[in-house]
Amino acid sequence: MGDTGKRYTGGCLCSALRYAAEGAPLLAGHCYCVDCRRASGSGFIPFMGFAASAVRFSGTTRQFRCKSARGGEAVRNFCSVCGSLVFGGVVGEDESHTIYAGSLDDPSLFRPQIAIFTHGRPQWAVVPGGLTMFEALP
């Protein structure tokens, strides 16, 4: 994605849960699946995927687990203090983590490339022009 030297930092509303990610995201986009819409209270979640080795977390989380689109388990991590949704995956177990772009300290670093789970999205949840669209997972 061309951002190999970048550093992405962010965290929750109260700053009790923080992260730093190094290098280019593996992918970046908008997810319009029902779970993401319900978790965010919005029409989609803007996300960035990073290799687990590229991300460091500090602070404690609460987790919510449910069945993922691939059939495994999806894990969402929230700040245990303020409840902000910050990242996906299990630290120390998963090979990659999803960072929710709304939690970035500098939101201008987010460069979405794809839109996933566009099939069944509400009409009012508009997909920005220029994103490669996938009706489900690519």
Q: Give pLDDT, residue 85.
A: 97
Q: What rounded mean pLDDT belongs to the chain?
A: 94
Task: Kindly tell me if the per-residue pLDDT of 3 is higher than 80.
Answer: no
Quickly count: other Cβ atoms within 10 Å of residue 8's Cβ.
24
Find out whether 65 and 73 touch, Cβ atoms under 8 Å.
yes
- Other C-beta atoms lying within 10 Å of the C-beta of residue 69: 14
Residue 27, pLDDT > 90, answer yes
pLDDT band of 4, cuts 50, 70, 90:
low
State phi, psi for 94 to the nearest 5 degrees: -85, 150
Burial of 33 (0-12, 13-18, 19+ CB in 10 A): buried
- Give the Å distances, CA to CA, from 46 to 39, 49, 79, 91, 124: 12, 10, 18, 20, 16
Predicted confidence at residue 57, as pLDDT, reads 98
Q: What is the mean pLDDT of residues 16-28?
A: 97
Task: Give the residue extent of every domain in the chain.
Answer: 7-133
Q: How far, CA to CA in Å, does 130 sit from each of 55, 106, 112, 127?
A: 28, 22, 9, 9
- Does position 1 have pLDDT exceeding 60, yes or no? no
**pTM of structure:** 0.91
Is residue 2's pLDDT more than 80? no
Angstrom distance (rounded) from CA 98 to CA 8? 13
Q: What is the CATH number of domain 7-133?
A: 3.90.1590.10
Q: Is residue 66 scored above 80 in pLDDT?
A: yes
pLDDT at 119 over 60: yes
Sign of CA dihedral 93, 97, 98, 99: positive
Sheet of strand 18-22: strand arrangement:
7-11, 18-22, 55-58
